Chains A and B, each alone.
Chain A
Amino acid sequence: MIDNNLVKKCKEASKRMRINAIKMTHNVGNVGAHIGGALSMIEIMSVLYLGVMKYDIKNPLMEKRDRFILSKGHGVIAQYAALKEAGFLTDEDLLTFKQNETQLYAHPSMNLKMGIEFSSGSLGQGLSLGVGTALALKQKNNTSSRIFVLLGDGECDEGSVWEAAASANHYQLSNLVVIVDKNNLQYDGQTKEILSMDPLEEKWKSFGWKVLSINGHSEKDLLTALNSNSNVPIAIIANTVKGKGVSFMEDNVLWHNNRLTENQLIQAMEEQED
C-alpha cells in the first residue's frame, strides 16, 4: 500500500525541485545548463531521496545507506535539487552551481560527504560502477542496502551499458535497480531517429532483468516500482517528457542544454504556480 502522505510529500518536493532547477539554470547566465534532461528526472529524484532511499546526512558514509549513482551526469541539477531537499545542500550551495571553485560541477564530482557516490559525465559508465558496488555489498554481507542507477535513454546507445547489464544478470544482483529516464530525446534529436533502441523494455528483459514500465512523472508509480522486489536486477523504464513542467521546453530538443532569458524565467516560474 502506498502511503498517500508520502506521495504528497514527494509531490511537494518535486515542485520545489523544479523551481530550483529553473533558478539554477537562470543563475548561470549565458552558458546555460542541461535543464531538459534534469526536468524529466525530477520526480525520479524526489521519490528516491524523499520516499525510498536510506541515508543519514549526519553520517553520509553509513554502511547501511542505499547508494545512488547518476550515470546520466548531465542531469545533475535535479540531483542537486534533491540533495537540497535531503539536507545535504543549502539554497546558497545551489547558487554556486557552475561557478568557479564550486563543488557543484556541471557533472557530478564524487563527494561522499555531499551524498555523491561517484563522478560521472562520460556516459555509459555508471551501471558498471553499480554492478561493482552491488557485488561489494554482497561480499560484505550487506543485504539491506540497495543500489539505484539512473541512466538516460540516449545513454543506452553506449555498448558499455549492455556489458554491465549482462554482468548484473550473471551475478543475479537483486540489490541493483536501474531507472531509465526515457524522455525520447538526445542531443541531436529524437532517439528513434538518432539510434532507435526500442523496444527498450524487451532489451532489458532479454538481458535477464525484471522490467517495469511506468509513468516517470507519477510519484505514486515511482514509489510502487522503486519499492518492488525481485531475485533478479530490476530495470524501471520511466516514461518521461524532456523539459517536463515548462511548456516551451517540453519535448523540445533545443532545451537539452540552453540558457534562460529573463522573460523565459518569468514564464517558467509562473507555470510552476498551481
Chain B
Amino acid sequence: MSTTTSHALPSGAQPAPRSSILVATSAIAAAGTMLMFGMLAMWFKFRDASPLRESAGGKMIHDWLPSDIKIPEVATNTMAFTMVIACVMAQWAVYSTRRNDSSHATLALAITSFIGIAAINAQVAVYLQMDMGLTDGAYQTMFYTITGTMLTLLVTGVTFSIVAMFRAVAGRLGDSSVMSAHALYWYFLTAVFVALWFVVYVQK
C-alpha cells in the first residue's frame, strides 16, 4: 500500500484563478463605453450641423444650445468631482477586501453608493434648474436622451454597490474579484461621465 502511494503521481498544479466576473464586467464596460461614445458622436454630428450665429462675445458659434437655456455649472462640475471620489472609494473597498477588513469595505461601499445617489440627485437638480421640455427642440431632445442614458448606467452602478455592500456586511470577502469588478465598473462610469460632462456641459 505504501509502495503504491509512493509511486502515485503528485496532484497537478491548481489552475490559475480566472475572474469571470471581472472579465464580464470589462466586457460590459466596453459595451457601455461604445454606447455612450456612440451617443456623443451623434451629439457632435448634430451640433456641427447646426447653423452658425454670433455669440455675445462677438464670436461665430454653432446655434446649438438655445440662448435662453443656462446650464447650472456648479451642479455639473460637482458631479464630475464626486464621480472621481467614487472611484477612490471603490478602490478602497478592493484594498480592504484583500485585507479581509469587512468593516472598512462596507464603509467604502456605502460611501460609493451614497455618492452615486448624490450624482443622480444632482442630475435631477440639473433637469429642474434647466427647466426645459423634452420636445422643445433638437438640443433638448438629445440632451435628455444622452443624460438619461447616463443616469440609467449610474442607477446600475448604485445597485452594484449596494449588492457588493451586502456581501461585505455578510463577510463574503473571500473572492476579491467581485470588488475589483465593482471598482472597474465605477472607473468606467467616471470615465464616461467625464467625457459627457466635457462635451455636453463644458463645450456645450
A is bound by B: no
Identify the B interface with A (CB < 8 A): none
